[in-house]
Structure 1
Amino acid sequence: MSLLDYFKSSKKPQTAVTAKERLQIIVAHQRTERGMPDYFPQMKQEIIDVIRKYVTISEEQVSVQLDQNDDNLSVLELNVTLPEKN
C-alpha cells in the first residue's frame, strides 16, 4: 500500500501548484484592469475588430495597455504580433 500512497500523493501537490499559478495570473490580470476606465474593454475589442479587417489575428496576438500617471497623462500602448507573409 505504501507504493500506491507514494504515487497518489505526488499528483496532488502538482495540481495545487498549477492551480496557484493560474490564480496568480488571474489576480494580476484583474489588478491591471482595476484602474481602467469603463470603456476600456469595449475599446480594446473594437481595436481588435479593426485590425481583423486587414489581417487575420487572434486576441492573444494583441496587447492593449493603458498607463496613467499622476500628471493626468494617459498613454495607450498597443502591441500587435502580425503574421508572417507567405
Structure 2
Amino acid sequence: MTIFDFFRPTRSAPVARDRLQILLQHERVSAGASDLIAVLREEILEVISRHVEIPAEKVQVKMQRDEAISTLEVEIELPNPIRRRAA
C-alpha cells in the first residue's frame, strides 16, 4: 500500500459486500441466542422437575447482551409450600 492508495476512490461493491457480511454475522448471532435460551429453559426446567413439582410457565430465562458483558437471568417461581417430587 502506498500513499497514493488513499487518494483513489473506493469501489462500492467491496464495501457493500463487507457490510453484508457483518449484517449476516449479526443476524446469525441474534438467531442463535433465541435457540440457546429455549434450550437452556428446557434443561433448567428438567433439572428442577427432578426435585420439585413446578409448572413449565413458572420458569423464565432472559439473556441480555452488551458490548462488554452478557447477562443470563433465570426467574423461577416456586410454590409455597414446596411440594417435593416423589422419588
Sort the TM-score into its range (normalised by shorter chain). Answer: 0.5 to 0.7
Uncovered stretches (5+) of structure 1, i.e. residues with no partner: 1-32
Larger % of helix: which? 1
Uncovered stretches (5+) of structure 2, i.e. residues with no partner: 1-29, 83-87
Q: Which residue of 2 aligns with 1:49?
A: 46
Q: Which residue of 2 aligns with 1:80?
A: 76
2: CA distance, partners of 1:78 / 1:40: 10
* 1:61/1:37 CA distance change after superposition, 3 Å: closer
1: CA distance, partners of 2:81 / 2:34: 36
Local SS of the residue matching 2:39:
helix
1: CA distance, partners of 2:79 / 2:34: 30
Task: Report if the CA contact (8 A) 2:62-2:72 is conserved.
Answer: yes
Task: Give the root-mean-square deviation of aligned CA atoms.
Answer: 2.2
Shift of 1:34: 4.7
What letter is aligned with 2:74? Answer: L
2: CA distance, partners of 1:43 / 1:60: 14
Q: Which residue of 1 aligns with 2:67?
A: 70
1: CA distance, partners of 2:78 / 2:43: 17
Q: Which residue of 1 aligns with 2:4?
A: none
User: When the two structures are superposed, what TM-score results if normalisation uses the length of structure 1?
Assistant: 0.52
Identical positions, percent: 30
What letter is aligned with 1:80? Answer: I
Local SS of the residue matching 2:50:
helix
Shift of 1:38: 3.7
